[in-house]
Chain A
Amino acid sequence: MEEIVLDKLRVWNRRIAILTGLVLLACVCVVLLDILMRRVGSSLGGTDEISGYVVAITTSWGMAYTLLELGHVRIDLLRGWSGRLGRSLFDLFAMTVMAGTITLIAAKCWPVLARSLANSSRANTPLETPLALVQIPWFAGWVWFAIVAWLTLAAALMLVLKGQFEQSEKAIGCFGEQEAASK
């Protein structure tokens, strides 16, 4: 069961990561078009603004993928010296703190979106983008990150309780600097 949840989460986050990467490539095209148009004396206008939104949205949606790929850097000093059970406890503790913090961040992001929705705010820029339009996917990304964090924690906890330390370490272990190197 736990393995199935983790696998599903990995598959979905991989798809999301590819999609966010494609958004990034689209942004490259927009920037290039703008540079070319500027050379001939015209301009698309607003590429900076669009780039900003792309960073905000790709970042919030990419976080969960990085989490499952064990990409968020952790210092492995004490943990590295512990035994299997000790390592699992370190991992569960770190993951609980992480899930809690991410949930708090997501909760605190809501008022930002709520205000934009309530006031129908628009960006103070030439594009006058309705802020809710870009803040909804940004906020949703953080919520998704929080959901993935809790689900991963729950699955890992079950694995540890069943004594499957190795599988739990694959899900929430330290990325290991050697592994980072091979990426």
Chain B
Amino acid sequence: MTSYVAVGLLSLLTLSIPVGIVLFLLGFGVDVFFSSFPLIRGLGNLVWSTSNNATLIAIPLFVLLGEILVRSGIATRTYTALDRWVSWLPGGLVHANVATATMFSATSGSSVATAATVATVAMPQAEKLGYDPKLFSGAIAAGGTLGIMIPPSINLIVYGFLTQTSIPRLFLAGLLPGLALAIGFMAITALICLMRPSLGGTRRVFPLSEMMQALLQLLPIILLFTIIIGSIYKGWATPTEAAAVGVACAILIAAIFGSVSRHMFTDAILGTIKITSMIMLVVIGASFLNFTLASAGLGRELEEFLSGLGLTPLGTIFVVVLIYIVLGFFIETLSLMVVTIPIIVPVVVAQGFDPIWFGILMIVLIEMALITPPVGLNLYVVQGARKSGKMSDVMLGSIPFVLAMLAMAAALIAFPGIALFLPNAVGG
């Protein structure tokens, strides 16, 4: 059955059938070939129960929040402000790319939205100030991936939903690794630019008064993050409700900046419906496939296979990491997540690993998939915003950051505390 799913998945995907539909088809196949009960009878109920779910409303709401921030010009202000603070470092504005991406990650649940936002604002500066296009665009692609690690994160919500794991705990667990990655990205940039100063463009030092003034521009986004995350941990709102609070605050901030208009709302709404429906078709398809796989006993089969290999728990994790790296080259990231969660998470948890910790490890690997060709959405997002130059520039520029992610994955395996410290310290 495992090989049926793997071969079926890859061949249907290569035929360019939409990913959500492929998941349904595989589910139908499992039903016909591997199950003694007609599982398809449960399809209608499953579609209803998956989509009639209050937790999932966080998806459209966090998407909407991001759309409002992008379309109201808050992104541009944040970038300019962070430029004042980090452009003295070796690598100059490249650090502003990573820092802006980090800040946006803290309010946006999506990596693609984060990368698109930063790329749109940053790219025009690169040429003006003479930066190496490779490093500059690679940093945006990589920085954007933090969107799914630093809370709030749509991918963590989907992970929590599919594995019945606490979403607030997942959010807490993602915070330290997310910040560590951001610092890692900046350290790598500084190191590269110290060795090859020509890559780093002009370093600029701004007067203190200008820096302090810039801080004011950062207030809205810091406030938004504090309200979203604060309301969750104060117990005032669930992660789902916090998304609604975030949307309301974003509208308020946009109104203060005078950017609220009918046009802005229509665009934000249309963007939200488009992205949400795409995600939901994949999530519903994955739920159906989960259901058929579980009913047909795939978990048992996989466990037997893995125990047959005689791997230690650590060995299993290495095999899993390898699987994600390889699949990450070819499969779009959300799809990769939802397709593999039902198969891999039960096996990993059965080996005694913490599902929260594994969720974070998986996110690091998924982040890597976002910037590894040929199917690395963030690479295309950044290239799309550049409008000129070669795609391979972005790919080459991302390589140092891929190494940082590999190091992070290794660190998480060696020291699970990096992810588990915060959720355990806060408790609950």
Contact = CB atoms under 8 A, between A and B. Distances in A.
Interface of A: 14, 17-18, 20-22, 24-25, 27-28, 31-32, 34-35, 38-39, 47-49, 51-56, 58-60, 62-63, 65-66, 69, 71-79, 90-91, 93-94, 97-98, 101-102, 104-105, 108-112, 134-135, 138, 142, 174, 177-183
A24 B61 contact: yes
Interface in B366-423: 374-375, 377, 380-385
B385 A181 contact: yes
A111 B15 CA distance: 32
Contacts of A97: 17, 21, 25
Nearest to B12: A97
A69 B276 CA distance: 13
Given A32-B245, A75-B13, A98-B17, 18 more contacts: A18-B269, A35-B237, A55-B51, A58-B60, A62-B274, A66-B281, A71-B275, A73-B19, A73-B332, A74-B16, A94-B17, A97-B17, A109-B48, A138-B48, A177-B380, A180-B380, A181-B116, A182-B116
Contact of B25 (A24, A73, A101, A181): A101
Contacts of B14: 75, 77-78
B16 A174 contact: yes
Contact of A62 (B277, B282, B335): B277
B44 A35 contact: no
Chain A interface main SS type: helix
B22 to A, nearest CB: 9
B269 A21 contact: yes
B236 interface: yes
B98 interface: no
B314 interface: no
Contact of A77 (B276, B282, B330): B330
Contact of A21 (B244, B270, B281): B270
Contacts of A38: 236
A94 B377 contact: no
Interface in B317-332: 330-332
A101 to B, nearest CB: 5
A127 to B, nearest CB: 13
B183 interface: no
Nearest to B10: A75
B217 interface: no
B53 A55 contact: yes
